[in-house]
Amino acid sequence: MYTSAGSAALGLSLLNRATSPTDNNNKDVDATPTKSSPSAVALLGHSRGSVATLRMSLDLPSSTRKFIVLVSPFLMNESKSSSIASKTTTTSLFQSFDIPVKKKTAVTDAINAIKYVMFGIPVQYILRRLVGGKNFWRKGLQAAWGDPNKLTNNDVLRFQYPSIGKGWEKGILSYVKSVATMKSSYMPTYPGGEEQLLQDVLKLPNTYVAIVHGTKDRVVPSSYNEKYTAFYPNLRFVKMDGFGHDPFEEDVDMFVDVVKDLMKDAKFQ
């Protein structure tokens, strides 16, 4: 059972891992079992968060039993050509002006500062004005719900309240930027793309992976993930009829029943 203390400990460990030197090839974590290593772990991921879930499973010792449920996952494959092109353009630009390494950093920092003042601050203001209202969340959730008519005012408020806080708009901008540039270590920079990440997790011993997807998901259509079952026979795929992108929000009890059935199938009790 998750507790506040457990969540804080998990968050601290992830922060420590993120700030430690790595080679960004997912080989930076020593997965040797320790006294504190759990014998079994259940991991759940949703949409783009499924990528973090899969990567976390690779960090666990091979002896640890892993029960993984991905809800409406959206896995991306890195465009090598665009990545190489962007690096080539940047390199050739600095080379053409013969700018020393230290000056390159200063020039880059200055450009980023100008971009932030010109675009970052205004966009953050617009986001706060736009996202802070109920109508924004109502329309967004109606698009995500399988049956928009089942969306309640309480559902809208649960999503709206966090937007009252400060700092989240910077996170959204950073996320959008990382998606656009494909350079963040949390984005599809896994060698071979994120479908390869899924393959590598499915190859792990003592590992059970299932995808749960609503049939009326308009954000990530179920057909997007159902295709994986033809290539990976050990991947379970469960449809939730009539549900959208957030089945665990639309009907908590039914979603829990689905997970319980999967746990029985995996003999994960």
Question: Per residue, what are the HEC states of 110-172?
Answer: HHHHHHHHHHHHHHHHHHHHHHCCHHHHHHHHHHHCCCHHHCCHHHHHHHHHHHHCCCHHHHH
Instruction: Please report, in tens digits, the pLDDT of each residue of the chain (269 residues total).
Output: 444 455 555 555 655 555 455 444 444 444 555 556 678 999 999 998 999 999 999 999 989 999 999 999 998 875 443 333 334 333 433 344 444 545 556 666 566 556 554 555 566 656 666 666 788 889 889 999 999 999 999 988 888 877 666 666 676 677 666 656 554 444 445 788 889 999 999 999 999 999 999 999 999 999 999 999 889 999 999 999 999 999 999 999 999 999 999 999 998 86
CA torsion, ordered 107, 111, 112, 116, to nearest 10 deg: 150
Q: Do residues 253 and 240 make contact, with C-beta atoms less than 8 angstroms apart?
A: no
Contact 54, 67 (CB under 8 A): no
- pLDDT at position 39, please? 87
Output the pLDDT for position 22.
47
Pair of tokens at residue 265: 């199938």
Taking CB atoms within 8 Å and a gap of at least 24, the contacts of 109-116 are none
Closest CA to 247 of 223, 210, 215: 215
Q: What pLDDT score was predicted for residue 142? A: 92
Whole-number pLDDT of residue 109: 57
Contacts with 206 (C-beta within 8 Å, 6 or more apart), sequence order: 62, 63, 64, 65, 66
The whole-model pTM stands at 0.67
The number of C-alpha atoms within 13 Å of 141 and in the hemisphere containing its C-beta is 22
Rounded-to-integer distance, Cα 197 and Cα 254, Å: 29
User: Contact 245/144 with Cβ under 8 angstroms?
Assistant: yes
- Whole-number pLDDT of residue 187: 47
Tokens of 174: 């950073």
